[in-house]
Structure 1
Amino acid sequence: MSDWRPRLIASDMDGTLLRSDDTVSDATVAELQRWADDGVPFVLATGRPPRWMRRIREVVRSGTAVCCNGAVLLDLGRFEILTEEALPPAVLAEITAGLRAEQPGTWFAVEYGLELRHEPVYRPRWDADAPGVAEASLEEMIAAPAAKLLARHEDLGRDEFLALVERVVGDLATVTNSSTDALAEISAPGVTKATGIARIADRFGVGPGEVVVFGDMPNDIAAFDWVREGGGRAVAMAHAHPDLLAAATDVTGTNDDDGVAAFLASL
């Protein structure tokens, strides 16, 4: 594949494109611009909700971003939600009731596009006081469709909790994880970063064999599988989760070593 070149570049943000200080290096910005000048679109594919995408617009000023692990497509230029594949209230009620019955210490939050609601006992890690973030009862939260349901446990280990969530959720929804915490990210059935990236790629007439995707956590596995099985490149960061490394076609440097830029430059 020495002469292989992508027609679309997709990258996760945290732990991948972003360095540990939450910035994008000048070298990475320059490399992405070189590809943009060649007409190759760049897609951000992240577990982040749209409300966390404002600062990245200083670097990626236009195009479509895949947010909430594929549930939301966001126009970065206009900062408008284009599509949202939501979990309906009935499914939210069934999942939360099942998890609470199995583990009463499970606490919930929901992402509604540009807003977050969380139970009073749920502890948001980053933006508890940010605009659009507020406390609500579980009954209030699940009364409306949600782009993503977050289930957290403060005492169980990550793998133990995720296994529990996957067993309870079954085929009602898609479960993934993108942190070191016991935090399950739950989306509508079949919704993943892969489905979001595929929708954008289709708009450009690009197939999976013409895509390179970068990531570091299990919520990138679906996108890696889609690209790898289609003949494209699935590139894991050097520090990536072992499950993602197993799904990769290539490995690059860490996010702090500008691994994304280094791999793109090698092409």
Structure 2
Amino acid sequence: MADRPRLIVSDLDGTLLRSDESISDATLAELRWWEAEGVPLVLATGRPPRWMLGVRERLGGGTAICCNGAVLLDLTAFTVLDEQPVQPEVLRVITAQLRDRQPDTWFAVEYGDQFRHEPIYRPRWDKDAPGVAVATLEEMVAQPVAKLLARHERLSRDEFVALVAEVVGDTATVTTSSSDAMAEISAAGVTKATGLARLAAERGLAPADVVYFGDMPNDIAAFEWVRSGGGRAVAMERAHPDVLAVATDVTLANDDDGVAAFLATLRA
């Protein structure tokens, strides 16, 4: 890595955001210092664009890689710059195979500013928010989606995600960023790493120019991309064990402003 990074990339939940979903004044001040030095922040998150409005208000703009790499969002104008969705024919095969293998699997989809879920699917967040509605599985898989969500109420997270990955194979990309048994399914080959690589190339940057912060399995591909070229892949203190295993560095927990603390060490 160069003496200083040229791009700061951070996951949101469990990383840049505190447990109450706030961005501390200390973290914001550190990010502003780097911004003044010409080093921008890019967000890389499993969140869909519809969950980015509050973050945009706090940060004031920028760029976000949403839906685990499927959507590139201009936060300033709040417009989608690029999208790599899962196509209907793939959705139909995946949902049929998963339902056959594990009948108690329930589905939801993210597309645009809309969220649809089966009647039996239990949303954990914003279930009464605008754009959230109940739909049949047939309706949900009839058009391309940024992300397919599969949830199970009885199996453990790791057991269920492993099962989904086994069933899906190479027809799509499976990851998770949840403490629950929920698998996040994107188009084949789409990860936070592919979104980041695309964005970095547009800016003339290489992995060595990047410091990346994360805490969950959906950050692993980006960690591997960053460290493969000599960048810094920084795990939060209480990150998932698989993330800690591929990190180049570990910082304090999100509630202790770990992102800001690590960035401060790179100022010299």
- SS in structure 2 of the partner of residue 43 of structure 1: strand
Equivalence for 2:64: 65
- SS in structure 2 of the partner of residue 134 of structure 1: strand
Give the CA deviation at 1:209: 0.7
Distance in 2, Cα, partners of 1:17 & 1:178 = 14
Equivalence for 2:109: 110
Distance in 1, Cα, partners of 2:238 & 2:69 = 23
Deviations 1:207-252 (A, max 9, x none): 0011000000000000000000110000000000000000100000
Give the CA deviation at 1:4: 2.4
Give the CA deviation at 1:48: 0.3
Distance in 1, Cα, partners of 2:99 & 2:195 = 30
- SS in structure 1 of the partner of residue 115 of structure 2: strand
Distance in 2, Cα, partners of 1:249 & 1:198 = 18
Equivalence for 2:187: 188
| TM-score, length-scaled by structure 2 | 0.98
Give the CA deviation at 1:204: 1.6
**Contact 1:72 1:113 (C-alpha < 8 Å) held by counterparts:** no
2:156 aligned with 1:157, yes or no? yes
Distance in 2, Cα, partners of 1:258 & 1:113 = 31
Deviations 1:42-100 (A, max 9, x none): 10000000000000012222221000000000110111111110000000000000000
**Structure 2 spans left out of the alignment, 5+ residues:** none
Equivalence for 2:235: 236
Distance in 1, Cα, partners of 2:131 & 2:169 = 31
Distance in 2, Cα, partners of 1:60 & 1:199 = 22
Letter in 1 for 2:82: T
Of residues 64-73 and 199-208 in structure 1, the stretch that sits farther from structure 2 once superposed is 199-208
Tell me the percent identity.
71
What is the number of equivalent residue pairs in this alignment?
Answer: 266
Letter in 2 for 1:47: G
Q: Which runs of 4+ in 1 moved over 4 A?
A: none
Counterparts of 1:29-178 in structure 2 under 5 Å?
29-178=28-177
**Contact 1:212 1:233 (C-alpha < 8 Å) held by counterparts:** yes
Letter in 2 for 1:167: E
Give the CA deviation at 1:182: 0.5
Distance in 1, Cα, partners of 2:36 & 2:126 = 35
Give the CA deviation at 1:201: 1.3
Letter in 2 for 1:199: R
**Contact 1:224 1:248 (C-alpha < 8 Å) held by counterparts:** yes
Letter in 2 for 1:179: S
Distance in 1, Cα, partners of 2:249 & 2:111 = 35
Equivalence for 2:10: 11
Distance in 1, Cα, partners of 2:36 & 2:70 = 29
Distance in 2, Cα, partners of 1:207 & 1:245 = 23
Equivalence for 2:265: 266
Equivalence for 2:27: 28
Give the CA deviation at 1:203: 1.9
Counterparts of 1:192-207 in structure 2 under 5 Å?
192-207=191-206
Counterparts of 1:204-223 in structure 2 under 5 Å?
204-223=203-222
Distance in 1, Cα, partners of 2:185 & 2:42 = 22
Letter in 2 for 1:56: V
Letter in 1 for 2:105: T
Distance in 1, Cα, partners of 2:60 & 2:120 = 37
Distance in 2, Cα, partners of 1:196 & 1:60 = 20
Of residues 207-216 and 196-205 in structure 1, the stretch that sits farther from structure 2 once superposed is 196-205
Give the CA deviation at 1:200: 1.5
Give the CA deviation at 1:193: 0.5
Distance in 2, Cα, partners of 1:4 & 1:254 = 24
Distance in 1, Cα, partners of 2:162 & 2:20 = 31
**Structure 1 spans left out of the alignment, 5+ residues:** none
Distance in 2, Cα, partners of 1:82 & 1:204 = 15
- SS in structure 2 of the partner of residue 186 of structure 1: strand
Distance in 2, Cα, partners of 1:152 & 1:139 = 17
